[in-house]
Amino acid sequence: MFASLRLAIALCFAALPALAQSFETQATAAYVIDHNTGQVLLDYNADTPLPPASMSKLMTINMVFEALESGQLTLQTLLPVSQEAMDYGGSTMFLNTRDRVSVEDLLLGVIVLSGNDATAVLAEALSPDGTEAGFAALMTRRARQLGMMNSNFTNSNGWPDPAHVMSMRDLGILAERLITEFPQYYPFFAMTEFEFDGRAPDNRFNRNPLLSLGIGADGLKTGFTDAAGYGLVGSAVQGERRVTFVITGLPSPEARAREAERIANWAFRQFAETEVVASGTEVAQAEVFLGDAATVGLATSGGISMLLPSLLDNAIEAEAIFNGPIQAPIVAGQEMGELVIQVEGFGERRVPLVATADVGPASFMSRIRTAAAYVLEMIRNGDNPLAAS
């Protein structure tokens, strides 16, 4: 008697062409997400594990931010520099083993200067066994907990290692987390310059090429190795919208800067956030079994906004899915099913549907009449409700 029901619903905007797929990137992999709606605008090889280079420093930064929140560290905590940290090549803060450096300076050394030595110092401080390898294993476990299933870390900073990989989607998940969960520290990513102790006047500038372009960019991290090519995890705000994007595999810093700016401009100009379903709008009616009302309204618990191509004004097809008839009693706000919206080029959006009103149990006589009608219906269909099974 109870079955999964699908009701086609005409919303106020309609099926769209695969506009997002028409964007052709020069990157080997890319991922673009609208921060407000969580809508993925571009997914190109986004789940492929690839060398992340220094972009994987974002995971170390996340671990430090979590330690600050838990009280394990403070920004003023002074940390020693090991010989192993000092000996790292590549980007550096030029730390030495005589230093005791504050967590705040080390974070800026990682974010602005991309210091491999600074990253290693932070890693050793948080490692369960005091080693960078121990911290890398901790990073991998934490990544799994955060839903980053295509990431594996062997060091804290992205130093080349075939087993050290991340997907662009994982980097996007991580970037969104840093923006959302740690707003008090996120302004660090917009700093264009940090001079530590006057040691490296030529290495005091942020490598993020978007920060100075006036497009609202305020983070997050660049990366480069021979195996990875040039990559960038970026985020920008224009008006009330924020877009986060990840690219990798570009052949030069100039190509990386051009592609990142091109993606940001495309994401902002070609899409507009549109309310598809207003909060409290009833989108379907479900039949009720043994209730004091024959039907109950189904609505989304809140409004639904989607990013749609700016110049289109048609309608989207959606489905309400629920098991029906729904057995009484029903409480207003009780989850009854889900609304499924599919837009070509954007994947699938699923939103819970809730009851719009209370429905109590039917009266005794109504229940008798319903049961009798049910038995008669079975007999008409050739079933014997009294037969042994």
Q: Do 299 and 239 lie in a common domain?
A: no
Q: Do 332 and 364 lie in a common domain?
A: yes
For residue 206, give the CATH number of its domain. 3.40.710.10
d(CA 214, CA 186): 18
- Torsions phi, psi of 233, nearest 5? -105, 115
Q: Do 151 and 122 lie in a common domain?
A: yes
DSSP string, 55-83: GGHHHHHHHHHHHHHHTS--TT-EEE--H
Identify the domain boundary among 268, 293, 324: 268
State the distance between the two ends of the chain, measured CA to CA, in whole angstroms: 17
The two structure tokens encoding residue 93: 């803060």
Q: Do 213 and 300 lie in a common domain?
A: no
Which tens digit of pLDDT belongs to each residue from 245-301? 999 999 999 999 999 999 999 999 988 877 878 887 888 888 888 888 889 999 988
Cα of 216 vs its chain's centroid, Å:
20
d(CA 294, CA 57): 58
Enclosing domain of residue 233: 26-268
Q: With contact defined as beta carbons under 8 Å apart, do 234 and 220 qualify?
A: yes
Which tens digit of pLDDT belongs to each residue from 137-187? 999 999 999 999 999 999 999 999 999 999 999 999 999 999 999 999 999
Q: Do 133 and 263 lie in a common domain?
A: yes
Q: Do 99 and 180 lie in a common domain?
A: yes
Query: CA distances (Å), 53 to each of 58, 186, 241, in order?
Result: 11, 21, 28
Residue 235 binned pLDDT confidence (cut-offs 50, 70, 90): very high
Residue 324 binned pLDDT confidence (cut-offs 50, 70, 90): confident
Q: Do 189 and 297 lie in a common domain?
A: no
Residue 199 falls inside a structural domain? yes
Q: Do 303 and 216 lie in a common domain?
A: no
Which of 29, 63, 34 is closest to 48 using CA atoms? Answer: 29
Q: Do 322 and 176 lie in a common domain?
A: no
d(CA 299, CA 284): 7
Which tens digit of pLDDT belongs to each residue from 10-50? 454 434 433 444 689 999 999 999 999 888 999 999 999 99
**How many separate domains does the chain show?**
2
How many CB atoms within 10 Å of residue 66?
16
Residue 241's identity, in one-letter code, is: R
d(CA 234, CA 219): 5
pTM: 0.80
Q: Is the pLDDT of residue 232 over 60?
A: yes
Q: With contact defined as beta carbons under 8 Å apart, do 42 and 260 qualify?
A: no
Q: Do 245 and 365 lie in a common domain?
A: no
Identify the domain boundary among 213, 239, 268: 268
Q: Do 32 and 171 lie in a common domain?
A: yes
Q: Do 98 and 174 lie in a common domain?
A: yes
* 265 contacts: CB under 8 Å, gap ≥ 6: 215
